[in-house]
């Protein structure tokens, strides 16, 4: 079963506003990744943050990671209509020498022009 | 190729038939992953390959599902005796190495079992 939980499940904002999405997880991780998905097909990688990092930036994106709370957030600043998509967090951990990949349930973001 | 490719893009089959889905990863990527995504839901991890070996097959939903990889390149996901609940988009991804690197996704194969 999926362990990653994201909230909100859906978010609707006006163009120019900031959008914040949160991801919680249950197990220890090596890294956490955020992806965007348009139209239910292939995913596009946004940011990878390692377990020893607390914050990362990429353009209008800012990701934070709090391993003590087992949570991460993705902030999109100055949103655009083109940011409309589903956003997923994915955790990568290690169990018994093998990697475990767990995707969250996703946040559907709608940016209104 | 420049990215991960998957074939076919769409597949419609009848319940009980076998299907084979193909993934061509980015050249040089040692890790390859298969996921399933049902309509409106998140990604469900199925299996990953490190080279031609799959360290953990526990994510495969049932013994009707199998996957193999050859030449540290192309991979096939086979579903035998398909059921209607197998209808989903099957996504493949690859990365330079397992666990620590960004995954690059293909466009997926949309499977519909009638």
Could you report the average pLDDT of every consecutive run of 10 residues in chain B (114 residues)?
90 98 96 93 92 90 95 96 97 90 93 97
Per-residue pLDDT band for A2 (boundaries 50, 70, 90) equals very low
Task: Establish if B1 touches chain A: CB-CB under 8 angstroms.
Answer: no
Per-residue pLDDT band for A1 (boundaries 50, 70, 90) equals very low
At B19 the pLDDT is 98
- Check whether A74 has a pLDDT greater than 90: yes
pLDDT digits (tens, 9 = 90+) for B69-79: 998 899 999 99
Residue environment code for A1-15, b if the CB has 16+ CB neighbours within 10 A, otherwise e = eebbbbeeeebebee
- Check whether A98 has a pLDDT greater than 90: no
At A15 the pLDDT is 97
- Check whether A80 has a pLDDT greater than 50: yes
At B58 the pLDDT is 86
Q: Which of A43, A94, A97 lies at the smallest CB-CB distance from B105?
A: A43
Number of CB pairs, chain A paired with chain B, less than 8 A apart:
64
- Best B1, B2, B42 member to test A by mutation, with max A CBs in 10 Å, is B42
Mean pLDDT for chain A overall: 91
Q: Which of B89, B93, B103 lies at the smallest CB-CB distance from A40?
A: B89
- Residue B71 burial (CB count, 10 A): 7
At A88 the pLDDT is 94
At B77 the pLDDT is 98
Closest alpha carbon to B33 in B17, B20, B44: B44
pLDDT digits (tens, 9 = 90+) for A43-67: 999 999 999 999 999 999 999 999 9
Instruction: Tell me if A87 sits within 8 A of A36, measured CB to CB.
Output: yes
At A41 the pLDDT is 72
At A107 the pLDDT is 94
- The residue-averaged pLDDT of A2-9 equals 72
Stated as kind and residue range, the H or E segment containing B34 is strand B31-37
Percent of chain A with pLDDT over 90: 73
At B1 the pLDDT is 52
- Check whether A96 has a pLDDT greater than 90: no
Q: How far is B102 from chain A (nearest CA, A)?
A: 7
- Residue B1 burial (CB count, 10 A): 8
Task: Establish if B108 touches chain A: CB-CB under 8 angstroms.
Answer: yes
- Which residue shows structure tokens 């980015």? B26
Q: How far is A94 from chain B (nearest CA, A)?
A: 8
């Amino acid at each position: 079963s999926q362990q990653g939980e994201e909230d909100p499940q859906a978010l609707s904002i006006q163009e120019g506003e900031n959008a914040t999405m949160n991801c919680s997880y249950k197990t220890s991780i090596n890294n956490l990744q955020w992806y965007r998905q348009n139209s239910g097909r292939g995913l596009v990688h946004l940011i990878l943050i390692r377990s020893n990092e607390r914050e990362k930036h990429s353009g209008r994106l800012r990701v934070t990671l709090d391993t003590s709370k087992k949570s991460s957030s993705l902030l999109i600043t100055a949103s655009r209509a083109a940011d409309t998509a589903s956003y997923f967090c994915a955790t990568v951990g290690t169990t018994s020498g093998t990697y475990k990949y767990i995707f969250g349930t996703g946040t559907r973001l709608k940016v209104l022009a | 190729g420049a990215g991960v490719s998957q074939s076919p893009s769409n597949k419609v089959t009848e319940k009980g038939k076998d299907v084979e889905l193909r993934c061509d990863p980015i050249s040089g990527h040692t890790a390859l992953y298969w996921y399933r995504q049902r309509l409106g839901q998140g990604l469900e991890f199925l299996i990953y390959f490190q080279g031609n070996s799959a360290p953990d097959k526990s994510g495969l939903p049932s013994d009707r599902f199998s996957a193999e990889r050859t030449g540290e390149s192309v991979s096939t996901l086979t579903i035998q005796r398909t059921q209607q609940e197998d209808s989903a988009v099957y996504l493949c991804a690859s990365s330079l190495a397992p666990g620590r690197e960004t995954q690059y996704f293909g466009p997926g194969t949309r499977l519909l079992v009638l």
